């Protein structure tokens, strides 16, 4: 991107100026269309998601066997939802704003195996690759009980194949642990922001971890390079993979059953707002695609990014998508929210989903820490910083600044009183105790400094 064009974006667009100044900001896209119109943009269908769901069902007996913690739920990797009324009250007080409706969390932080949203897409893509190879070799048929994959013979077969991925941490954890369990020879290219405990944990599973001194984009490029030179190596492409995307989308149909079981109504008069922390976009994009298929126009999806890494907001707002990075605008992509430390958005999510995502906002690291401590204080739930990005979403859309958005969507006071707000809590249950203690200490300090 040339300096001239950057200057042009800066001059004519106060929103871009705010992003560059690292201010918390929000943008609600006036080009959003009804699901019936815009779902066609995605190029993937309800049947594709059903196919993924069926494949995960076939693998369930295997998952239950190799990850015994999933046995009670039949080997299905899923997380609970939880209402957080005390947190809602505390946020209302913190922002000095009445917050009608009900705030819930989706606890992907507590997903088994890797403790983050990446246990959805990441694990799915590895399973799909394993199934393809085993079917082609005649080691497996789709009618089999897949727990037979837990054998030395099968592991020796997979050992001939390599898997590579670039990651800020959590994707590497999911792909690494799942691949190594199946028997694959797996390499994770970690960006500089990846936490040491994640690298240590992977190495203890026999995963090769390559540490890069630069950010996520470079880690991905290196992984891609490794795979290009090796026909037995499958590269998991977080920037472009539709398989990952579909793995995330399965969450929505399951969420539909969970909200129904909880007695929560979702329809035009009872809207559902879902706040999704966004890095490269595959996770939130895939979940949002599934949500639109499951709930249509009754669901409103909003993406949340760190003030230092607003790659999706910038890409969609400018229409330049993956042609630009936040660094092109002088934004450093340095954030404590390591799962969201991505400077350039996915090559397809922003384009495919832009007419289905209501809006985007940014949040400072300090606010993520403050909310991290507040959530632990109010509800006893411990999350990693990235996972807090969606929590203030309820206050963002209800703030006086967003009157135009609410009017455009014809959200009446009555509908807002009946609304459900779901913040996707994307990670944190596997953070080691000493690391969590440090997060909480930072959070309490941030809370103290900003108390009203
Ligand atoms: C990866 C990640 C996200 C965002 O997912 P993307 O696919 O990168 O957009 C959000 N939260 C956590 C904790 C993550 O690890």
- pLDDT, position 6: 84
Indicate if 268 and 289 belong to the same structural domain.
yes
Q: Is the pLDDT of residue 49 over 70?
A: yes
Indicate if 276 and 411 belong to the same structural domain.
yes
Indicate if 110 and 203 belong to the same structural domain.
no
**How many percent of the chain have pLDDT more than 70?**
98
* The token pair that represents 276 in the structure block: 């999704």
User: Mean pLDDT across the stretch 301-313?
Assistant: 98
**Domain C-terminal end among 240, 269, 286:** 240
The CB of 181 under 6 Å from ligand 1? The reply is: no
pLDDT tens readout for residues 125-179: 999 999 999 999 999 999 999 999 999 999 999 999 999 999 988 999 999 999 9
pLDDT tens readout for residues 415-434: 999 999 999 999 999 999 99
pLDDT tens readout for residues 156-166: 999 999 999 99
Q: Tell me which of 100-109, 218-227, 312-321 is least confident.
A: 218-227
The CB of 283 under 6 Å from ligand 1? The reply is: yes
Residue labelled with tokens 């990651």: 167
The residue segments making up the domain with residue 148 are: 117-240
The CB of 393 under 6 Å from ligand 1? The reply is: no
Residue nearest to atom 11 of ligand 1 (CA): 426
Indicate if 235 and 263 belong to the same structural domain.
no
Band (pLDDT 50/70/90 cuts) for residue 452 is very low
Which ligand 1 atom is at minimum distance from the Cα of 170?
Answer: 15
**Domain C-terminal end among 211, 240, 269:** 240
Band (pLDDT 50/70/90 cuts) for residue 450 is low
The CB of 386 under 6 Å from ligand 1? The reply is: yes
Q: Reduced to 3 DSSP states, what percent helix, strand and coil does the chain have, rounded to the nearest 5?
A: 55, 15, 30
CB 193 within 8 A of CB 338: yes
Count CB neighbours of 3 within 10 A: 8
Q: How far apart are the first and last CA of the chain?
A: 42
User: Mean pLDDT across the stretch 348-364?
Assistant: 97
Q: Is the pLDDT of residue 180 over 50?
A: yes
Indicate if 138 and 19 belong to the same structural domain.
no
CA diameter of the chain: 65
The CB of 423 under 6 Å from ligand 1? The reply is: no
Q: How far is ligand 1, taken at its centre, from the CA of residue 426, in Å?
A: 7
- pLDDT, position 193: 82
Domain total in the chain: 2
User: Mean pLDDT across the stretch 374-380?
Assistant: 98
């Amino acid at each position: 991107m040339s300096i001239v064009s950057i200057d042009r974006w800066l001059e004519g667009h106060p929103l871009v100026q705010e992003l560059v100044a690292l201010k918390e900001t929000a943008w609600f896209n006036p080009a959003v269309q009804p699901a019936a119109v815009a779902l066609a943009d995605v190029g993937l269908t309800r049947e594709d998601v059903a196919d993924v769901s069926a494949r995960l069902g076939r693998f369930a007996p295997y998952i239950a066997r190799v990850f015994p913690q999933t046995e009670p739920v039949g080997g299905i990797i899923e997380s609970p939802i939880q209402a957080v009324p005390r947190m809602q009250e505390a946020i209302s007080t913190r922002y000095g704003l009445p917050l009608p409706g009900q705030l819930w969390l989706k606890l992907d932080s507590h997903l088994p195996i890797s403790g983050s949203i990446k246990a959805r897409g990441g694990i799915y893509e590895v399973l799909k690759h394993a199934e393809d190879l085993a079917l082609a070799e005649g080691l497996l048929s789709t009618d089999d009980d897949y727990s037979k994959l837990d054998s030395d013979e099968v592991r020796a077969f997979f050992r001939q194949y390599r898997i590579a991925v670039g990651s800020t941490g959590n994707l590497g954890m999911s792909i690494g642990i799942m691949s190594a369990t199946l028997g694959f020879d797996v390499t994770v290219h970690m960006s500089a922001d990846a936490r040491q405990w994640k690298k240590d944990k992977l190495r203890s599973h026999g995963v090769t971890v390559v540490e890069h001194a630069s950010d996520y984009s470079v880690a991905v490029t290196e992984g891609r390079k490794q795979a290009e030179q090796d026909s037995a190596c499958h590269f998991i492409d977080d920037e472009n993979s539709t398989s990952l995307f579909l793995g995330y989308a399965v969450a929505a149909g399951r969420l539909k059953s969970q909200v129904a079981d909880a007695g929560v109504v979702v329809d035009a008069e009872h809207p559902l707002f879902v706040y999704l922390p966004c890095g490269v976009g595959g996770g939130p994009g895939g979940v949002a695609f599934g949500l639109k298929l499951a709930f249509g126009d009754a669901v409103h999806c909003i993406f949340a990014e760190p003030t230092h890494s607003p790659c999706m907001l910038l890409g969609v707002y400018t229409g330049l998508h993956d042609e630009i990075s936040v660094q092109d605008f002088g934004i450093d992509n340095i954030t404590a929210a390591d799962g969201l430390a991505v400077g350039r958005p996915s090559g397809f999510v922003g384009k495919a989903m832009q007419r289905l995502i209501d809006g985007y906002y940014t949040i400072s690291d300090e606010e993520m820490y403050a909310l991290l401590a507040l959530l632990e204080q109010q509800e006893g739930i411990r999350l990693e910083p990235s996972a807090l990005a969606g929590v203030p979403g309820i206050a963002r859309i209800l703030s006086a600044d967003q009157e135009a958005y609410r009017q455009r969507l014809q959200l009446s006071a009555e509908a807002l009183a009946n609304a459900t707000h779901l913040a996707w809590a994307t990670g944190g249950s596997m953070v080691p105790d000493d690391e969590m203690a440090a997060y909480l200490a930072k959070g309490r300090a941030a809370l103290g400094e900003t108390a009203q």
